[in-house]
Amino acid sequence: MATREPPPSTEAPLTFAVLVFPGFPMMAFSSVIEPLRAANILARRECYRWIIVGADPGTVEASNGVVIQPGFPAADAPRVDRIVVCSGGDADHVVADAAMGWIRRSLRNGAHIGAVADAAFFLARAGLLDGHACTLHWTSQAAFTEAFPDIELRRDLYVIDRRRFTSAGGVGSLDMMLEIITRDCGAEIAAGVAEWFVHSPLRSSVDRKLMPLRLRTGVQNELVLSAIAVMEDAVEERLAMAELATRLGVSPDKLERNFRAELGVSPNGYYRRLRLKRAADLLAHSSLAVRDVALACGFASMSSFARAFREEHGHAPKATRRH
């Protein structure tokens, strides 16, 4: 029996542009484009088109060393429906006037603008995330909050807020694209794309909030996960472990047992390590003075901060500076 072809669609395909900067993460880049290709195949029609845009003319090297040739420099890029900015770990310092001019023109023409990994920095500095919620890679969240305290930062794998969409990179970009495909083409096509990539879509907001923590820490114990989430929100205030246990509705002894069983370290030891990791992230990704970084991570004195930092990282705080 012959299979009937679907009737031709009268809807024009949506065009995505991926704007790449040197050092862009290949996983996030592929997680944006490949779902579009799969959606076209599964829908048996051209739902999407895509182009690659470079901030400047010439080739662009990814973080893994792969070199690509964008189809357009930003100065010559055509009108598109959606732009996804894909940049590496130095997105907080990227300057690209031609690219920003093209993005602003596209916004005026009704385009949706997105960012993966750390590229939210690039949009935020230009004021393009004002009044919108967003997310970005977890290693840069502390620096982003310090730089843009008025922008709502959510610790999700992805956030879609009206005509802005952002992801934390990696697997979060794929989940974000599945949600976009669901809105554009329906849940059936999106489910097919998820199956194509052997990926289980994260359907609930609770899952999207917990998954980045599970991925980063490898922790499965729900009590320990909840404790770490509270710790991450209380880096500056130097939370006492007895108070943490009270917030979680358990005894300090139970909290201690669960941490040692899951991670082999006390809650206080983990919290100290977390604060020192946050300090290293702020030193690498922000322009805060070392003393301000110490205060932002719950250290009352520079001497105690410097000593603890050296014990944890093997060098002085100033050695972490990238600029």
Mean pLDDT across 204-224? 72
Residue 171 pLDDT grade (very low, low, confident, very high; cuts 50, 70, 90) = confident
Whether 43 and 167 map to the same domain: the answer is yes
Tokens of 201: 């879509």
Whether 169 and 56 map to the same domain: the answer is yes
Looking at the DSSP bridge assignments, the partners of residue 73 are 54
Tokens of 321: 């500076």
The residue that leads in pLDDT, 9 or 186, is 186
Domain membership of residue 81 as a residue range = 14-203
Tokens of 199: 């990926």
Whether 23 and 117 map to the same domain: the answer is yes
Residue 207 pLDDT grade (very low, low, confident, very high; cuts 50, 70, 90) = low
Break the chain down into helix, strand, coil percent, rounded to 5: 50, 15, 35
CATH of the domain at 312: 1.10.10.60
Question: What is the structure's pLDDT at 214?
Answer: 79
Question: What is the structure's pLDDT at 9?
Answer: 54
The residue that leads in pLDDT, 207 or 215, is 215
Query: Does residue 211 sit within a domain?
Result: no
Query: Does residue 285 sit within a domain?
Result: yes
Whether 189 and 296 map to the same domain: the answer is no
Residue 186 pLDDT grade (very low, low, confident, very high; cuts 50, 70, 90) = very high
Whether 141 and 274 map to the same domain: the answer is no
Query: Does residue 2 sit within a domain?
Result: no
Where does a domain end: 203, 234, 268? 203
Percent of the chain with pLDDT over 90: 70
Query: Does residue 209 sit within a domain?
Result: no
Mean pLDDT across 6-21? 81
User: Which is it for strands 60-61 and 67-68: parallel, antiparallel or unpaired?
Assistant: antiparallel
pLDDT at residue 5 is higher than 70: no
DSSP element (H, E) containing 284: helix 267-285
Query: Does residue 248 sit within a domain?
Result: yes
Instruction: Give how many domains the chain has, as a whole number.
Output: 2
CATH of the domain at 133: 3.40.50.880
Whether 126 and 177 map to the same domain: the answer is yes
Query: Does residue 214 sit within a domain?
Result: no
The letter for the amino acid at 291 is R
Whether 254 and 137 map to the same domain: the answer is no
The residue that leads in pLDDT, 185 or 236, is 185
Question: What is the structure's pLDDT at 211?
Answer: 66
Whether 74 and 223 map to the same domain: the answer is no
Contact between 26 and 64 (Cβ < 8 Å)? yes
Q: Lowest-pLDDT range, 31-35, 83-87, 223-227, 286-290?
A: 286-290
Tokens of 194: 């998820």
Whether 259 and 180 map to the same domain: the answer is no
Whether 188 and 74 map to the same domain: the answer is yes
* Segment 280-305, tens digit of pLDDT: 988 887 888 999 999 989 998 999 99
Whether 137 and 247 map to the same domain: the answer is no
Where does a domain end: 203, 227, 251? 203
Residue 295 CA to residue 307 CA, distance in Å, equals 14
Residue 268 CA to residue 257 CA, distance in Å, equals 12
Where does a domain end: 176, 203, 230? 203
**Cα–Cα distance list, 263 to 127, 162, 171, 229 (Å):** 41, 40, 24, 15
Whether 125 and 163 map to the same domain: the answer is yes
The closest of 295, 10, 286 to 148, measured between CA atoms, is 286
Query: Does residue 3 sit within a domain?
Result: no
Query: Does residue 231 sit within a domain?
Result: yes
